[in-house]
Amino acid sequence: MTKKTIAVLPGDGIGPEVTRAAIQVLENIARLHDHEFVFKEGLIGGSAIDEKGGPLPLETKEISAASDGILLGAVGGPKWDRLPGANRPEKGLLEIRKALDLYANLRPVKTYSALIESSPLKKEIVADVDFVIIRELTGGLYFGEPKKREEIDGETQAVDTLLYKESEIKRIAERAFQAARVREGKVVSVDKANVLESSRLWRETVDDVHDSYSDVELSHMLVDNAAMQLIAQPTSFDVIVTENTFGDILSDEASMLTGSLGLLPSASMGSTGVGLYEPVHGSAPDIAGENRANPLAAISSAAMMLKYGFGMEKEAEQIEAAIEKVLAEGYRTSDIAAKTDDAVTTTEMTDAVVKALE
Ligand code: GGG
């Protein structure tokens, strides 16, 4: 029997609904494989602000740091939109990434076979979409200082700083080349080197790291071109490595190649050995509490935790196969259903995945 402690941070909006779904699946994996998963819940985001006065209470940090893996839902919502940046729900997410040095965010983009036929995009393209975006997660605009508002000559101005150290670029580039070695062996590094100094350092550093990975094919692409190529030639990509903001934006765009943002999982990993696993989607306040959210991104994120965090590859594959099966059987939440009337609820989709595990 393998025992693992999982920190569960449901967060806001649909976060609690989708993490509940992922836990249900993990409990059944534990039952089927005689593992013991101990779940320890913590507050993060807006719910933490409401209950504890800040987006990342100390207790949540402690539960997370002491765990074998962290399962997170989503943070944010209109209720907290007018709070200052330092006390917004998203700050909790940024802080935990920084505290645990979770600098490498893996966002796989692959279309489930059962969704190819219903895709509005060209079937032959969608069928072959299979790449991973590796987003640098603890640097860039999200963290660089100065980050502030100030009054200058009677006018309010605001500044964010796009700062990268060579060492930060080096370690994420290494992750990308290592990922490519067990995939198709191709890395596209995305930057804005024609305009940004930080991007020129990014490009030079990625080139330097590439010297040790000459078996991997490397090309560079400007982010505006990458945004276009993701739609024009998505099958040309294998591994995309990029900085924090570009990765955030490009992965939401890329999710639509698979059918919905509600399908994209992610794994954030770093130097401490504790990974954080969360759906790429946000808190979707418009459907929160309605039992309509697609739980598959959260369930698939749990599968990434088993694979990358716990070395349970077989169990992770079992979850992915169960997802394929329920989609092939026609289960669709409203984000991927052809007609709203045909859509199943979050709990119906989750129950179907659990049944398909058997
Ligand atoms: N599950 C992802 C989530 O909650 N996203 C909200 C958000 O805007 N996060 C900022 C980020 O991922 O950098």
Contact predicate 96/169, CB 8 Å = no
Q: What is the Å distance from ligand 1's center to 75 Cα?
A: 6
Phi, psi torsion values for 76, nearest 5 degrees = 110, 170
Domain boundaries, the chain: 1-102+262-358, 120-258
Residue nearest to atom 10 of ligand 1 (CA): 90
CATH classification (class only), 1-102+262-358: alpha beta
Matching fold, domains 1-102+262-358 and 120-258: yes
Binding-site residue numbers for Mg(2+) are 224, 248, 252
pTM of the model: 0.96
pLDDT the model gives residue 120: 84
Q: Which CATH number fits domain 120-258: 3.40.718.10, 3.40.190.10, 3.10.28.10, 3.40.220.10?
A: 3.40.718.10
List pocket residues of ligand 1, CB cut-off 6 Å: 74-76, 90, 93, 248, 278-279, 281-283
| Rounded Cα gap, residues 49 and 46, in angstroms | 5
What average pLDDT does the chain have? 96
Residue 288 has pLDDT above 90, yes or no: yes
Q: What is the Å distance from ligand 1's center to 199 Cα?
A: 23
Residue 75 CA, closest ligand 1 atom number: 4
Q: What is the Å distance from ligand 1's center to 202 Cα?
A: 24
Residue nearest to atom 6 of ligand 1 (CA): 282
Residue 125 has pLDDT above 90, yes or no: no
Binding-site residue numbers are 77-90, 97, 107, 135, 224, 248, 252, 282-294
Confidence of residue 83 (pLDDT cuts 50, 70, 90): confident
Residue 85 has pLDDT above 80, yes or no: no
236-282: pLDDT as tens digits: 999 999 999 999 999 999 999 999 999 999 999 998 889 999 999 99
| Rounded Cα gap, residues 91 and 46, in angstroms | 10
Residue nearest to atom 4 of ligand 1 (CA): 74
> Going edge to edge, which strands form the sheet with 186-191?
36-41, 3-11, 69-74, 275-277, 267-269, 104-110, 130-136, 239-242, 186-191, 217-222
Among all residues, which ones are annotated catalytic? 142, 192, 224, 248, 252
Residue 166 has pLDDT above 90, yes or no: yes
| Rounded Cα gap, residues 86 and 142, in angstroms | 12
46-79: pLDDT as tens digits: 999 999 999 999 999 999 999 999 999 999 999 9
Residue nearest to atom 5 of ligand 1 (CA): 282
